[in-house]
Amino acid sequence: MAAHLSPPPDPQFVLRGTQSPVHALHFCRGAQAQGCPLLFSGSQDGLVHIWSLQTRRAVAALDGHGGQCVTWLQTLPQGHQLLSQGRDLKLCLWDLAEGRNTVVDSVRLESVGFCKSAILAGGQPRWTLAVPGKASDEVQILEMPSKTSVCTLKPEADAKPGMPMCLGLWQADSSPRPLLLAGYEDGSVALWDISERKMCSHVSCHEEPVMGLDFDPEKARGVSGSAGKALAVWSLDGRQALQVHGTHELTNAGVAEVAIRPDRRVLATAGWDHRVRVFHWRTMRPLAVLASHSAAVQCVAFAATGGLLAAGSKDQRISVWSLYPP
Amino acid sequence: MAVFDTPEEAFGVLRPVCVQLTKTQTVENVEHLQTQLQAVSDTALQELQQYILFPLRFTLKTPGPKRERLIQSVVECLTFVLSSTCVKEQELLQELFSELSACLYSPKSQKPAAVSEELKLAVIRGLSTLMHSAYGDIILTFYEPSILPRLGFAVSLLLALAEQEKSKQIKIAALKCLQVLLLQCDCQDHPRSLDELEQQQLGDLFASFLPGVSTALTRIITGDFKQGHSIVVSSLKIFYKTVSFIMADEQLKRISKVQAKPAVEHRVAELMVHREANWVKNTGDKLTILIKKIIECVSVHPHWKVRLELVGLVEELLLRCSQSLVESAGPLLKALVGLVNDESPEVQARCNKVLRHFADQQVVVGNKAFADILSESLHSLATSLPRLMNSEDDQGKFSTLSLLFGYLKLLGPKVNFVLNSVAHLQRLSKALIQVLELDVADIKIVEERRWNSDNLNASPKTATQPWNQMQRRYFRFFTDERIFLLLRQVCQLLGYYGNLYLLVDHFMELYHESVVYRKQAAMILNELVTGAAGLEVEDLHEKHIKTSPEELREIVTSILEEYTSQENWYLVTCMEAEEMGEELMMKESSLQAITSGAHTHQVTSFLAFSKPSPTICSMNSNIWQICIQLEGIGQFAYALGKDFRLLLMSALYPVLEKAGDQTLLISQVATSTMVDISHACGYGSLQHLINQNSDYLVNGISLNLRHLALHHHTPKVLEVMLRNSDASLLPLVADVVQDVLVTLDQFYDKRAASFVSVLHALLAALAQWFPDTGDLGQLQEQSLGEEGSHLHRRPVTLGNSTTAEDIEQFLLNYLKEKDVADGNVSDIDNEEEEQSVPPEVDENDIRPDVEPPLPVQIQIATDVMERCIHLLSDKNLQIRLKVLRTLGGKCGDFLRSRFCKDVLPKLAGSLVTQAPISARAGPVYSHTLAFKLQLAVLQGLGPLCETLDLGEGDLNKVADACLIYLSAKQPVKLQEAARSVFLHLMKVDPDSTWLLLNELHCPVQFTPPHPSLRPVRLRSAPEQQNPYLANVRLLLRELQ
């Protein structure tokens, strides 16, 4: 019975029923999540499922992308408004308050790229949205909810980083200037100052296109994953210059998404090798390999509290794990 | 009737009669007077009262011996007069009282005179009537100190009568009269209530009688139960009314320290009692002794009315004499509490009313609040409870527990004062755990198995309370079922009023502490939760705040987690785990399975009993533990109601798993738990429950498949789920089937058998969900029809009235059929047949060349079959059989050839070689693997022969191999199975089966249908020694 000395870790539960590969996951944040925690999933067939984590069942399915793959999901801080991005070149804003499931607004996207959008929202009614722009290498910044274009960020002509693949918006506590991190097709990561509309720093991290990135403003450190076999950890110095901190070799190539847990202690990657890998964020020590899917994992997400991790896969299942609860 | 309305008229009539009576005192004259009196109106009578009374009193007073009969009639006449008139003079009242009492008094002794019972009764009634006829305040002046000697005389007289007379009528009358004399009469004739001073004077007067009255009444009350309940009830009533009057706190507190000098003669003054503090103390002490005696005797009195009166006694004494009888308060309360759970609903109701009244009034007994006394009593009861539970018999345990129940009920939320004391909680829990110890020596529980793992066809019960169908269990320390009920009520009350977190923590600790406590702790936990939900508890304390549903759910979740954890849910309950069976099967060992202690690669390492060989007792104990936990889950569901739906994700899988357990008891209890759950959660049936929560099940199945070594029952759960699902679940099923197949691929060598049954269930389910509309069904119908015709033909051919023509025709038909069978068919016949072929076949043939993507269900089926083909060559016979059954339904031809060539010879061979062994074996044989193998083969062969549509030769092989098992020497189960094989064979080929059976044993003599034919001779053995007789007869009966 030696084989059973340490059984492989199990997910806490698996959500079934999307009946289509899962491409995006997002835990509902904000006040609404307190009583009855919710998880959103976006799938290839264009549906957004709302899952109750209490009953572990789908509460509703939102159909707003005409059967085209949903690639990105995000809730606004109040928790009752959901953004979904689809391959139908539409970004929908859903009103979920009091059981309503209706599209209240939508943004027309100009590019068919793979790039997921990003938002920067605080308590104010106005918030910022970054979406892939009209030209293939552009990122467009919009002021929401008025949908007024703030600027378009286009790399200089000689840089040629290719398409943006993933975006991250944030604002340092000390400064009022919003910043944008973008991972590009050529494997590089760039930092943009939005108010000055200029690229502050640009660093090459991967050989392959960057598939996902996440940033820890407290440590001024970020991580990116690519189609290749490495994770790159980079940091930002006081002069807003990006520096590659180190790379971490993975067993198998291909990371679809990376996510740092809100308490910034753990990092998770969604692997094309069907596995979710968990690292200690400070030391980058590997902590666990979560194997329960039978196809590529395409997205990972952390709940704001409680240590829940969700992973969505091409095998149409969403596994939910309880990871070192704080 | 009243003819003479005016006194004048009446006087005219009565005068001669009265004179006559005064002159000659005879019974006749008295009776004459009484007859005349009946014609006189009440007003007239009142006017003439003294006049009429005179001759009567005169008769009584005349000195010298008198005949009893005369006295009796005089007393009766007197009583008649008094009942229609009032006595308005104090003097007359006193005189009549003395004269009447004297009738019963024998001057020589202090005892009642030895007179006839009729006379005694008449006098007692007379006295009673006299006291009632006293007009207005006259009655009060009667009770002056000077009357004391005479009154005392009458009281002792009546007490003596009540105590010593044989006639029940006299006893009752004496007691009633005593009640009247002591001014405690409850009739309507005493309208005025007494003022404080009057009460005090009377109290002083009656205090002299208290010792005599109370001791005498106590003797009556504690006398033989057979004296009848009404006497005890009356005595009890007089006892507490008198005591509560004389010892009333209201009166006593006003009594001055120094006795006022009574204005009476010395002799009487000596009799007078001054109720000062000392007297009260002494009397109280003495009364306490009597009260204890009374309670001890009456609380177990068989008649409920007596116990009901005891409640009255307690109420009256505690309400009115709580200061003076402070020493009795404890025993009185205890008596009351003990009756809270009385078997009579009237007593219970009264008790509850009184207790609620006490609680509402915040009654103070002595210097202590009611609740404090209860609390103290509970403390002391908790202290002695373990000892009492150890030493008392069932009756004793019952009363002790009733008492405990009463205290808990009364204390309500205040019970926490006691529970918060660690020492007391430990004592209490120790006693409960101790008394709830189960007797687990019953072997049958381990032995009884489920033989087929089929449906969950639990009949939908209407019960809504899980414990109504609770499994009967046996306890080591008591046998009375009522005690168990009471224990459960006690625990429920604890759960209702007590701090649930504290209690659950405490009993959870005990649950963990030792396997010796585990079952009891689980039982208690179950009841605590039920109680906490407050569904069964009658609440005396309306202000009490129950545990909130959220808290309760939280607590239940944690208990549930504990119950279903690896080490508490997967216990060894039998010796033969599947994998062990498979291994040993190769060795064909017979007795080894039962005696073998070597659990080769079993799951023992994870279990609570990690001893090398679990004893029957420990397995039994494990079975009970699982059952108790299962019942608990049912109770939790009941307690939470629809809220339990949120727990289904963790509860349903483990329960369903146990529903498929091999141990009969476990599977029964699990099934009824499922029923409880579906009731509680509002599902109409088990099927609904399973169907609508399949996602939770699938989650459990899929997670557990990852650790199959630990969860080898997982495939069973899927099987049950499949049986109870419908086509709407196809996506979920498709999802989990992938997991199953992947796991099967990993475990081909070890656990294939359990997987094959799942696959079988899966294909069956698919077939059912997507019914085949093609030609297959029709074919079956056809074959059925043919069978019918075969069976119908026989009676005709065997009929007695057969003519030569019939035989000729039959022969011709036969030859023709034979010709056809040989293939010599004319063209015309052929054409006819082609026309009869249904046209659908053609449609089926015309298919577009493009192959559309296979529907999900067909894809699943293909995947499954691929695995099955693989398993056909498995070295385990049982698996091969199962696979064959799985495939048999659909892939006929291919399988038939494989089966006949490879499988059948081996099956038949093993049956033949094993038959002599089983024929000789004893009863233990049925526990061996060899037996199970034989059984499985026999049970499997029949359906296979039928589905594979075997040819004649192969059928004969099967029949030959199974024939030996029809012998009465074989174990009964094998005989049954063999019979089932033949039942299937009959369907395939009734004629040859009939012949075969008749050759074994022929019950009827066949007479040829026509004299020209020779009689048939079958080579069957003679009846006496034929071991096949019984089974063959049964089978032949089926054939007819």
The confidence band for B309, taking pLDDT boundaries of 50, 70 and 90, is very high
Length of chain B: 1040
Residues of A in contact with B695 (CB under 8 A): 16-17, 56-57
* Among candidates A7, A292, A317 on the partner chain, residue whose Cβ is nearest the Cβ of B707: A7
What is the average pLDDT across A249-268?
Answer: 92
Cβ within 8 Å, pair B710-A317: no
Quickly tell me which residue has 């992308």 as its tokens.
Answer: A65
> Which residues from chain A sit within 8 angstroms of residue B649, using beta carbons?
13, 55-56
In this predicted structure, the answer to whether residue B775 has a pLDDT above a threshold of 70 is no
Among A105-119, B517-531, B748-762, the range scoring the smallest mean pLDDT is B748-762
Q: And the tokens for B746?
A: 């990993």
How far off is chain B from A233, nearest CA to CA, in Å?
Answer: 34
Distance CA A105, CA A92 (A): 6
Residues of B in Cβ contact (< 8 Å) with A317 = 735
How many other C-beta atoms lie within 10 A of the C-beta of residue B273? Answer: 18
CB B904 within 8 A of CB B888: no
Dist CA A132 CA A110 (whole Å): 7
Q: Which two structure tokens, joined as six digits, stand for B759? A: 């696959």
pLDDT for A130 equals 93
Mean pLDDT, chain B, whole residue set: 78
Whether the predicted pLDDT of B878 surpasses 80: no
- B695 and A8: CB-CB below 8 Å? no
CB neighbourhood size of A161 (10 A):
23
> pLDDT confidence of A297, banded at 50, 70, 90?
very high
Q: Is residue A93 scored above 50 in pLDDT?
A: yes
Residue B353: per-residue pLDDT: 87
| Whether pLDDT at B136 is above 70 | yes
**Which of these ranges, B195-204, B359-368, B382-391, B922-931, has the smallest mean pLDDT?**
B359-368
- Per-residue pLDDT for B913 more than 80? yes
CA dihedral B594, B599, B604, B608 (to 10 degrees): 40
Q: Could you identify the residue written with the tokens 């459990």?
A: B700
| Contact yes or no for A56 and B710 at CB 8 A | no
Determine, for residues A10 and B605 on separate chains, whether the beta-carbon distance falls below 8 Å: no
Across the interface, of A10, A17, A294, the residue whose CB is closest to B703 is A10
Query: Which has more confidence, B57 or B518?
Result: B518
**What average pLDDT does range B95-122 have in this prediction?**
77
Which of A80-89, B452-461, B936-945 has the weakest average pLDDT? B452-461
Average pLDDT score over residue span B749-763:
78
Strand-pairing partners, residue B1018, are none
Q: Do A55 and B703 touch (CB under 8 A)?
A: no
Q: Is B366 left (phi over 0), alpha (psi -120 to 50) or beta?
A: left
Looking at the complex, report in whole angstroms how far the Cα of residue B702 sits from the nearest Cα belonging to chain A: 9
B987-1031 per-position pLDDT tens digit: 888 888 888 888 777 777 677 777 777 777 666 656 667 778 788
Smallest CA–CA separation between B921 and chain A, in Å? 37
Residue with tokens 């499931």: A101
Instruction: Please tell me which residue of chain B has the smallest CA distance to A10.
Output: B703
pLDDT given for residue B875 in this prediction: 66
Per the CB < 8 Å rule, is B732 touching A16?
yes
Question: What pLDDT was estimated at residue B992?
Answer: 82
Q: Which residues of B are less than 8 Å from A54 in CB distance?
A: 646
- 8 Å CB contact of B709 and A1: yes
- pLDDT reported for residue B889: 57
B742 to A294: CB separation less than 8 angstroms, yes or no: yes
Quick one: pLDDT at residue B260? Answer: 65
pLDDT, residue B783, reads 40
The answer to whether the Cβ–Cβ distance between A16 and B699 falls below 8 Å is yes
Closest partner residue to B731 (CB to CB) among A19, A55, A292 is: A19
CA-based nearest residue in chain A for residue B702: A14
Residue of A nearest to B708 (CA): A4
Mean pLDDT of B781-787: 40
Burial of residue B724 (CB within 10 Å: 0-12, 13-18, 19+) is buried
Range from B366-375, B472-481, B638-647, B936-945 that averages highest in pLDDT = B638-647
Look at residue B26 in the predicted model and tell me its pLDDT.
Answer: 81
How does residue B832 score in pLDDT terms, banded at 50, 70 and 90? very low
Which two tokens mark A196? 């000055």
Rounded-to-integer distance, Cα A229 and Cα B127, Å: 117
Q: Can you tell me whether residue A253 is helix, strand or coil? A: coil
Alpha helices in B165-303 (DSSP H): 168-181, 196-207, 210-221, 229-246, 249-252, 266-271, 277-298
B358 has pLDDT over 60 = yes
Burial class (CB in 10 A: 0-12, 13-18, 19+), B646: middle
- pLDDT tens figures, B385-405: 888 888 888 888 888 888 888
Q: How far apart are CA B294 and CA B334, in angstroms?
A: 13
In this predicted structure, the answer to whether residue B231 has a pLDDT above a threshold of 80 is yes
> What's the rounded Cα separation, in Å, for the pair B132 and B359?
39
* pLDDT at res. B191: 52
| Banded pLDDT at A97 (limits 50, 70, 90) | confident
Reduced to 3 states (helix: H, G, I; strand: E, B; else coil), residue A199 is: strand
Q: Which strand ranges, in their side-by-side order, compose the sheet holding A198-204?
A: A164-171, A178-184, A188-193, A198-204
The neighbour count for residue B820, using CB atoms within 10 Å, is: 12
For β-strands A286-291 and A297-302, DSSP reports them as: unpaired
CB contact under 8 A, A4 and B731: no
The closest CB to that of A1, out of B601, B645, B696, belongs to B601
Helix H or strand E segment including B668:
helix B664-681
What average pLDDT is seen over chain A? Answer: 88
The distance of A44 to chain B (nearest Cα, Å) reads 17
Length of chain A in terms of residues written:
326
So what's the pLDDT on residue B235?
A: 92
pLDDT at B15: 83
The residues near B67 (Cβ < 8 Å, ≥ 6 apart) are B27
| ipTM entry | 0.87
* More confident site: B194 or B177: B177
Nearest-neighbour CA in chain B from A57: distance (Å) = 8
Q: Do A14 and B702 touch (CB under 8 A)?
A: yes
Compute the distance between CA of residue A127 and CA of residue A74 in angstroms, rounded to an integer.
13
A4 contacts in chain B (CB < 8 Å): 707, 709-710
Query: What span, in angstroms and rounded, lies between the C-alpha atoms of B334 and B315?
Result: 12
Structure confidence at residue B365 as a pLDDT band (50, 70, 90)? low
Amino acid present at B883: V
Q: What band does B787 get if pLDDT is binned at 50, 70 and 90?
A: very low
Residue A41 has pLDDT above 90, yes or no: yes
Inter-chain CB proximity B731 and A8 less than 8 Å: no
CB B413 within 8 A of CB B494: no
CB B441 within 8 A of CB B620: yes
% residues pLDDT > 90 (chain B): 13
Judged by average pLDDT, the poorest of A13-17, B738-742, B782-786 is B782-786
Q: What is the CA radius of gyration of chain A?
A: 19
- B592 pLDDT tier (thresholds 50, 70, 90): very low
Rounded to an integer, the average pLDDT of B41-50 is: 82
Tell me how close the Cα of A253 comes to any Cα of chain B, in angstroms.
24
Joined together, the tokens standing for residue B527 give 């009841």
> Is B703's CB within 8 Å of A57's CB?
no
Looking at per-residue pLDDT, the higher value among B259 and A47 belongs to A47
CB B408 within 8 A of CB B490: yes
Q: Report how far Cα B1010 is from the mean position of its chain's Cα atoms.
A: 69
The answer to which of B176-185, B748-757, B875-884, B916-925 has the lowest mean pLDDT is B875-884
**Is the pLDDT higher at B193 or at B294?**
B294
Region of poorest pLDDT, from B30-39, B425-434, B601-610: B601-610
Rounded mean pLDDT, A167-192 = 89
Mean pLDDT of A41-53: 93
Residues in B touching A56 (Cβ below 8 Å): 649, 695-696, 699
In this structure, what are the phi and psi dihedrals at residue B586, rounded to the nearest 5 degrees? -60, -35
Q: How is chain A split among helix, strand and coil, in percent rounded to 5? A: 5, 50, 45
Interface probe with B: pick from A16, A20, A51, A320, most Cβ of B within 10 Å: A16
* pLDDT per residue as tens digits for the range B670-683: 989 999 999 999 99
Q: What are the chain B neighbours of A19 within 8 Å (beta carbons)?
A: 731
Whether the per-residue pLDDT at B558 is higher than 90: the answer is yes
| From A1, A3, A10, residue closest to B706, measured CB to CB | A10
- Residue type for position B660: G
pLDDT higher than 80, residue B599? no
Q: How far apart are CA B48 and CA B18, in angstroms?
A: 11
Residue A113 Cα distances to A87, A148, A228, B503, B931, angstroms: 8, 22, 19, 61, 69
Interface of A with B (CB under 8 A): 1, 3-4, 7-8, 10-11, 13-14, 16-17, 19, 54-57, 292, 294, 316-317
Least Cα distance to B686 among B664, B671, B669, B668 occurs for: B671
Closest Cα in chain B, distance from residue A255 (Å)? 25
Q: Which residue of A has its CA nearest to B646?
A: A55
Query: How many angstroms separate the CA atoms of B280 and B251, rounded?
Result: 11
Contacts of A14 in chain B (CB under 8 A): 699, 702-703
What is the per-residue pLDDT for B552?
92
pLDDT by residue (tens digit) across B647-662?
999 999 999 988 878 8
pLDDT of B561 reads 93
Nearest CA in chain A to B605: A1
pLDDT of residue A133: 87
CA atoms within a 13 Å half-sphere pointing along the CA-CB vector of B976 = 5
Backbone angles phi, psi at A85, to 5 degrees: -110, 135
Whole-angstrom Cα distance, residue B799 to residue B1038?
Answer: 19
pLDDT at residue B463 in the model: 41
Examine the pLDDT at A254 and tell me if it is beyond 50.
Answer: yes
> Which one has a higher pLDDT value, A20 or B819?
A20
**In the A/B pair of chains, how many CB contacts fall below 8 A?**
45
Contacts of residue A16 in chain B, CB cutoff 8 Å? 695, 698-699, 731-732, 735
Q: Which amino acid is at B401?
A: L
DSSP string computed for A78-134: TSSEEEEEETTTEEEEEE-GGG--EEEEEEE----SS---EEE--SSS-EEEEEE-S
Q: What's the whole-number mean pLDDT along residues B869-898?
A: 67
Closest in A8, A13, A56 to B706, CB measured: A8
What integer pLDDT is reported at residue A244 of this predicted model? Answer: 92
Most A CBs within 10 Å, among B606, B735, B742, to test the A interface: B735
Pair A183, A210: CB distance under 8 Å: yes
Nearest to B963 by CA among B1003, B1010, B996, B1009: B996
* Contact criterion met (CB below 8 Å) for A187 and A209: yes
Minimum mean pLDDT range among B454-458, B547-551, B607-611: B607-611
Give the sign of the dihedral formed by CA B303, CA B308, CA B310, CA B313.
negative
Mean pLDDT of B136-145: 79
C-alpha to C-alpha distance for A240 and A193, rounded to whole angstroms:
9
Rounded to whole angstroms, the Cα distance separating B17 from B40 reads: 13
Which pLDDT does position B636 carry in this prediction?
A: 94
In chain B, the percentage of residues whose pLDDT exceeds 70 is 79
Global pTM reads 0.69
Distance from CA of B638 to the nearest CA of A (A): 19
Peptide bond before residue A145 is cis, with ω within 30 degrees of 0: yes
Lowest-confidence pick of B93-97, B264-268, B643-647: B264-268
Write down the pLDDT at residue B874.
67
DSSP B564: T
Chain B interface test: which of A12, A14, A45, A313 (most B C-beta within 10 Å): A14
Instruction: Find the closest chain A residue to B704 by CA distance.
Output: A10
Interface test with A, best of B553, B554, B695, B740 (most A CBs within 10 A): B695
